[in-house]
């Protein structure tokens, strides 16, 4: 598991109702149990456990472990790397208050503050009875280390006794196992929930890896939550126009001009720099009237047709992703054009609405950078399955699992719960509002997903993020406007829905 995924999981667990303070308590308790097992197996009688505590969440795990070790009869010495007021994690700060309140009444506990590397000269290690616990940095490591942490890591590595790292040895990159400066060379690493990717890539430094279950429900990793917003890429302040994604929307017809406009506006509101719309000329003026921010090109005809294909390919070559289908209608010549487009287009492709009824599945089944966003009727039309989607999620998932392997792309099945599949990967999203049954909210979703793909997110992450943000925008619209909001009104809540 990479560090970002773990941060997302923890935040989603908190949003589910499981406080980070509880997760820290479980982590520290498990850490203390593992320290006892290690000291028992090493035949160390009443060892001194020295816990090196940093200012983040990793330090909080060490503080919790200290309480449990004291209850088990250990002598514990906490060595804090900075002043207590500098704790960056509220949960760690709370656990420090507990430790600070009991130190005067427990002779087995000592506290020392190392805010100067020279203080390390006064720290003594018993060669026969020492366990050194590294709860300094955990996954929060970037570049060259600062003092006194750098000197403390050297001190730990040069000391006798058993060295135990909490979650990740301080200084080791948890993603790739690389060491940019120096790192704790641990005999054991006690990690939480799942082993971080870098641990197994550098066991010279991580030592024996033990994974602790800290009580995160399995469903947390299946449910899309606010933690997903941590994936949103930060904008480059020195970027040029278009660097944050360009989207091409292909759709619209004589009857429908609103759908491609809503999709395009949603793509803009969610961060794409430039959004182009190619449509029949009859729909161009209405689409332009929605906003001067849209780049609209109308081509001759009342429907998307085969004579437009060369112009569409030319435009598609200049953008980062293509959204196909919104408001296109189901004219015979549109079907021919769409099937030509998907055969030759070499960009990430999002298909929605009429495209799902017109494009043959076999034309796109091997395209991994494909996302389809159907409701149940469009799902049946695309897969040619006349299935009843039952209300029970378990049965729905079982049926979908038997069908989804037929394509390599992502399927985002819209509903009361959105279900997102890609081969063996699965997530579900619960955000949304009953007011979203109004027409156009699905077009907003398709535009959102397209924007995220254009900004560099993977197809699967884009589908998960898009479903969450779209549903959350609907919830915010309901809160402000009641159930009777429109899709165009919902778009104005997208930027707020993208904030953690």
The packing angle between helices 332-344 and 309-316, to 10°, is 40
d(CA 344, CA 354): 19
Confidence of residue 389 (pLDDT cuts 50, 70, 90): low
Q: What is the DSSP letter of 453?
A: H
Map out the domains of the chain with their CATH numbers.
3-224 (3.40.50.10260), 243-497 (3.40.1190.20)
Q: Given this model, what pLDDT does residue 308 score?
A: 96
Q: How far is CA 138 from CA 98, 175, 187, 440, 484, in A?
A: 22, 12, 16, 45, 48
Q: How far is CA 420 from CA 36, 66, 182, 378, 426, in A?
A: 43, 42, 41, 15, 6
Residue 403 has pLDDT above 60, yes or no: yes
Q: How far is CA 228 from CA 192, 197, 433, 448, in A?
A: 20, 19, 19, 14
Residue 356 has pLDDT above 90, yes or no: yes
> In 3-state terms, what secondary structure has residue 480?
helix
Tens digits of residue pLDDT in 151-160: 999 999 988 8
Tens digits of residue pLDDT in 2-26: 888 999 999 999 988 999 999 999 9
Tokens of 357: 């009824």
Cα-Cα end-to-end distance for the chain = 22
Tokens of 322: 């293509």
Tens digits of residue pLDDT in 173-224: 999 999 988 999 999 999 999 999 999 999 999 999 999 999 999 889 999 9
d(CA 325, CA 252): 8
């Amino acid at each position: 598991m990479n560090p970002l995924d773990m941060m997302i999981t923890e935040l989603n667990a908190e949003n589910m109702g499981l406080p980070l303070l509880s997760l820290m308590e479980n982590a520290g308790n498990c850490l203390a149990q593992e320290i006892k097992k290690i000291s028992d197996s090493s035949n160390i009688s009443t060892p001194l456990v020295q816990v090196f505590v940093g200012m983040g969440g990793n330090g909080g795990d060490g503080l919790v472990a200290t309480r449990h070790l004291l209850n088990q009869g250990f002598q514990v010495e906490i060595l804090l790397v900075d002043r207590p007021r500098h704790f960056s994690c509220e949960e760690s700060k709370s656990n420090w208050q507990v430790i600070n309140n009991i130190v005067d009444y427990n002779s087995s506990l000592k506290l020392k503050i190392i805010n100067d590397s020279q203080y390390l000269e006064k720290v003594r290690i018993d060669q026969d009875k020492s366990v050194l616990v590294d709860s300094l940095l955990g996954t929060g490591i970037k570049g060259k280390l600062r003092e006194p942490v750098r000197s403390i890591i050297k001190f730990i590595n040069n000391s006798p006794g058993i060295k135990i790292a909490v979650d990740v040895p301080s200084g080791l990159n948890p993603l790739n196992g690389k060491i940019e400066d120096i790192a704790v060379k641990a005999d054991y690493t006690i990690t939480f929930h799942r082993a971080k990717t870098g641990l197994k890539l550098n066991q010279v430094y991580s030592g024996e890896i033990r994974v602790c279950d800290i009580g995160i429900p399995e469903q947390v990793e299946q449910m899309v939550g606010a933690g997903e917003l941590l994936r949103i890429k930060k904008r480059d302040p020195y970027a040029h126009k278009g660097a944050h994604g360009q989207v091409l929307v292909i759709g619209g017809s004589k009857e429908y001009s609103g759908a491609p406009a809503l999709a395009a506006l949603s793509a803009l509101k969610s961060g794409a720099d430039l959004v182009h719309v190619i449509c029949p000329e009859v729909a161009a003026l209405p689409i332009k009237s929605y906003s001067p921010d849209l780049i609209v090109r109308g081509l001759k005809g009342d429907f998307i047709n085969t004579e437009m294909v060369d112009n569409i390919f030319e435009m598609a070559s200049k953008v980062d992703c293509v959204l196909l289908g919104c408001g296109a209608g189901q004219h015979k010549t549109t079907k021919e054009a769409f099937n030509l487009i998907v055969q030759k287009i070499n960009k990430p492709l999002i298909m929605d609405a009429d495209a799902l009824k017109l494009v043959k599945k076999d034309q796109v089944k091997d395209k991994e950078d494909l996302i389809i966003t159907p409701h149940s009727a469009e799902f049946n039309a695309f897969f040619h399955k006349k299935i009843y989607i039952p209300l029970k999620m378990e049965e729905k998932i079982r049926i979908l699992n038997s069908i989804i392997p037929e394509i390599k792309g992502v399927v985002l099945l819209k509903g009361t719960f959105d279900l997102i599949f890609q081969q063996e990967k699965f997530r579900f999203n619960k955000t949304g509002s009953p007011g979203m049954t109004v027409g156009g909210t699905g077009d907003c979703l398709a535009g959102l997903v397209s924007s995220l793909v254009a900004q560099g997110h993977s197809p699967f992450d884009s589908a998960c993020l898009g479903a969450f943000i779209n549903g959350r925008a609907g919830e915010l619209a309901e809160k402000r406007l009641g159930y009777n909001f429109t899709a165009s009104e919902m778009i104005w809540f997208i930027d707020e829905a993208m904030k953690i």
